[in-house]
C-alpha cells in the first residue's frame, strides 16, 4: 500500500563510492546536537513562550522537552540499529514503505531549510546591531529583502554561504569548529543564569498559568501552556541531526547513543534553568514584548555589559545552528538522491573529504536565497510542523520494527518501546494541532506539492522499485 520497503541488509551495506566517510566520534555528535538545539530558540523563544503561557513557559519547556525525550529514545534505538544517513526518512523507508518515507523526507527538508534560513536572518539582525552600535551604517538596501523595502539581506546570504564552504571542506573539520562555537554559547547562557538567578522574585510567577493549560484562541492568537509548548518546541529539535550523521559515526553503537541522549539531557537542563531565571527576574509581560529577552533581563538588572556579551555570543555562535541544520538537510537530500527519488547524480561524494559536495553546494545556495529574499516570520512555524511529523513517524517505526524484526541487532534498546513510541506519537500530535490553523494549512499544501513531485518523478526513479519488491 505504501510502496516497497528497504531491507535492513540493503541499508547496512553500501558500495564504497556511495558511502559517507566515518569521521565523527561522540564529542562531535554531542556538539552537533547541542549546536542545533541551543541557538535562536533559547535566545528568542523565551519571550514568545512567555507571551503565550505567562510564567508557565517554564512548564511549556518541560513538556516540549518530555515529548522530545520520547522521540530521542526512539531515535537512539533506530539510529544504532540502522546506522545509515537519512534519520527519520531512512527509518520510515525500512518500516513503513517508500511513500511514507518520501512524505517524511519532504517534511524534513521543510524543517531544516526554514530553520536554517531563519537563523541566518536572525544572525544578520544581531550583526547589523553590533555594527551600527559602533557608528557604522551600511546601506539599508543590503540589509533586508524586498519585503522590508530593501534588495537583499546580504549578511544572511554571506553567513549561509560561509557555512556551506565549511561543510564542503569536510564533515570532521566543520564538526570540530562547531564544538568551539557550542562552548561559546554555553558560556554565554551560564553568564546569563549567574546574573539573573539572584534577582529571582517569586511574585513574578503569579499567576502561573494566566491563559490556562490547553491551547485556546484568545484575541485571535493561540494562548495557553500547550500553545507555548508548540512554539518553544522549535528550541529543542536538533538531536535528529545527530541521527542523520549515523553513517559517519566511527562507533555507532556507543557514539550515537551518547550523542542523541546526551544532547537532549544537557539542553533540557539548560532550558529549564534559563526559563526559571528569566521569568523569575522580570514580569512575563515585559519579556513578551522583547525580541531579545535574555539581553533585556540583564539590561533591566543593571548589567548592560553582560547583555552585550550575550548578544556578542549570539553573533559568534549562532552560525553553529546554521551549520548543523544545513548539514542535516544536505544529508537528507543526499540519501533521497541515492535512493533515486531525486536525481541520482546529486548523490556523489568527494574522494578527498568523503562528503557530498554537489548537494551541499546546492543546499547552501538555496538556503542563502531564502534567507536573502524571503520573509520568514509568518512561516517559521512550518519548521515545527515538519519536525513533528518526522517524530510521529519515528515513534511508529520504533514499534513496527520491534514487531517485524525483533531479533535484529540493537546496540541501544529503548526501554518500554511501545509506551515510549505511543507517547511520542500522541505528544507530537497534540503539539501539531496546537499550532495555528494557518500553519497547518500551509503544511498540507507543502505536502500536496511534495506528493505531486513524487508521483511525477520519485516513483519512476526509485532504486528500490527497479529491484524485486522487498517482502
Q: Tell me the pLDDT tens digit for each residue of 164-222.
A: 887 777 655 566 666 777 788 788 888 889 999 999 998 889 889 998 888 887 777 78
pLDDT in tens, 202-216: 888 988 999 888 888
Q: Is the model more confident about 269 or about 470?
A: 269
Q: What are phi and psi of 314, to 5 degrees?
A: -65, -45
Let me know if residue 100 belongs to a domain: yes
Q: What is the CATH number of the domain that holds 162?
A: 1.20.1740.10
> What is the residue range of 320's domain?
17-466
Comparing CA positions, the residue from 428, 413, 425 lying closest to residue 76 is 413
Let me know if residue 377 belongs to a domain: yes
C-alpha cell at 246: 549515523
Least confident stretch, 142-151, 242-251, 330-339: 242-251
3-state secondary structure of 221: strand
Let me know if residue 173 belongs to a domain: yes
Let me know if residue 7 belongs to a domain: no
Domain count within the chain: 1
- Give how far Cα 449 sits from Cα of 74, 102, 143, 454, Å: 29, 12, 31, 9
The confidence score (pLDDT) of residue 471 equals 42
Let me know if residue 4 belongs to a domain: no
The chain-wide mean pLDDT, for the chain, equals 81
The distance of Cα 395 from the centroid of its chain, to the nearest Å, equals 17
pLDDT in tens, 356-411: 788 888 888 988 988 888 765 556 677 888 889 999 999 999 999 999 988 888 87
Comparing CA positions, the residue from 255, 264, 282 lying closest to residue 67 is 264
Q: What is the DSSP letter of 143?
A: B
Let me know if residue 304 belongs to a domain: yes
Let me know if residue 63 belongs to a domain: yes
Residues 6 or more apart in contact with residue 140 via CB below 8 angstroms: 149, 150
Calpha distance 403→406 (Å, rounded) = 6
Let me know if residue 8 belongs to a domain: no
3-state secondary structure of 66: helix
Q: Which residue has the cell 538588572?
A: 301
Residue-level length of the chain: 471
In this structure, the number of other CB atoms found within 10 A of the CB of residue 21 comes to: 17
Q: What are phi and psi of 254, to 5 degrees?
A: -85, -50
Amino acid at each position: 500500500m505504501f510502496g516497497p520497503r528497504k531491507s535492513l541488509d540493503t541499508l547496512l551495506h553500501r558500495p564504497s563510492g556511495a558511502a559517507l566517510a566515518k569521521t565523527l566520534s561522540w564529542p562531535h555528535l554531542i556538539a552537533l546536537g547541542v549546536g542545533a538545539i541551543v541557538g535562536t530558540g533559547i535566545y528568542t523563544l523565551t519571550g514568545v513562550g512567555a507571551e503565550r503561557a505567562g510564567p508557565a513557559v517554564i512548564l511549556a519547556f518541560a513538556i516540549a522537552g518530555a515529548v522530545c525525550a520520547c522521540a530521542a529514545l526512539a531515535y537512539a534505538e533506530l539510529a544504532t540499529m540502522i546506522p545509515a544517513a537519512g534519520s527519520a526518512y531512512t527509518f520510515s523507508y525500512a518500516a513503513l514503505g517508500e511513500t511514507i518515507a518520501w512524505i517524511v523526507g519532504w517534511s524534513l527538508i521543510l524543517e531544516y531549510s526554514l530553520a536554517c534560513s531563519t537563523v541566518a536572518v536572525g544572525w544578520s539582525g544581531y550583526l547589523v546591531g553590533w555594527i551600527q552600535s559602533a557608528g557604522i551604517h551600511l546601506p539599508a538596501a543590503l540589509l533586508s529583502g524586498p519585503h522590508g523595502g530593501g534588495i537583499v539581506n546580504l549578511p544572511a546570504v554571506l553567513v549561509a554561504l560561509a557555512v556551506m564552504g565549511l561543510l564542503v571542506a569536510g564533515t570532521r573539520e566543520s564538526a570540530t569548529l562547531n564544538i568551539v562555537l557550542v562552548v561559546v554559547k554555553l558560556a554565554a547562557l551560564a553568564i546569563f543564569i549567574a546574573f539573573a538567578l539572584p534577582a529571582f522574585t517569586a511574585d513574578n510567577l503569579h499567576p502561573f498559568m494566566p491563559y490556562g493549560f490547553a491551547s485556546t484562541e484568545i484575541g485571535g492568537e493561540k494562548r495557553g501552556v500547550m500553545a507555548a509548548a508548540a512554539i518553544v518546541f522549535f528550541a529543542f529539535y536538533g538531536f535528529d541531526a545527530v541521527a542523520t550523521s549515523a553513517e559517519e559515526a566511527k562507533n555507532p553503537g556507543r557514539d550515537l547513543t551518547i550523542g542523541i541522549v546526551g544532547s537532549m539531557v544537557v539542553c533540557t537542563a539548560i532550558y529549564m534553568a534559563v526559563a526559571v531565571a528569566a521569568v523569575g527576574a522580570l514580569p512575563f509581560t515585559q519579556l513578551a514584548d522583547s525580541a531579545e529577552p535574555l539581553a533585556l533581563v540583564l539590561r533591566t538588572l543593571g548589567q548592560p555589559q553582560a547583555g552585550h556579551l550575550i548578544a556578542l555570543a549570539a553573533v559568534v555562535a549562532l552560525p553553529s545552528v546554521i551549520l548543523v541544520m544545513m548539514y542535516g538537510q544536505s544529508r537528507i537530500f543526499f540519501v533521497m538522491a541515492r535512493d533515486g527519488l531525486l536525481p541520482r547524480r546529486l548523490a556523489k561524494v568527494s574522494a578527498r573529504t568523503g562528503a557530498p559536495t554537489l548537494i551541499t553546494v546546492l543546499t547552501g545556495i538555496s538556503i542563502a536565497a531564502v534567507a536573502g529574499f524571503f520573509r520568514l516570520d509568518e512561516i517559521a512555524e512550518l519548521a515545527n510542523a515538519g519536525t513533528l511529523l518526522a517524530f510521529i513517524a519515528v515513534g511508529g517505526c520504533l514499534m513496527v520494527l520491534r514487531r517485524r524484526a525483533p531479533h535484529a541487532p540493537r546496540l541501544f534498546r529503548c526501554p518500554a518501546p511501545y509506551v515510549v513510541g505511543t507517547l511520542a506519537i500522541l505528544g507530537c500530535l497534540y503539539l501539531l494541532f496546537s499550532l495555528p490553523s494557518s500553519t497547518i494549512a500551509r503544511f498540507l499544501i507543502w505536502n500536496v506539492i511534495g506528493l505531486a513531485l513524487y508521483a511525477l518523478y520519485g516513483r519512476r526513479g526509485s532504486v528500490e522499485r527497479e529491484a524485486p519488491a522487498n517482502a
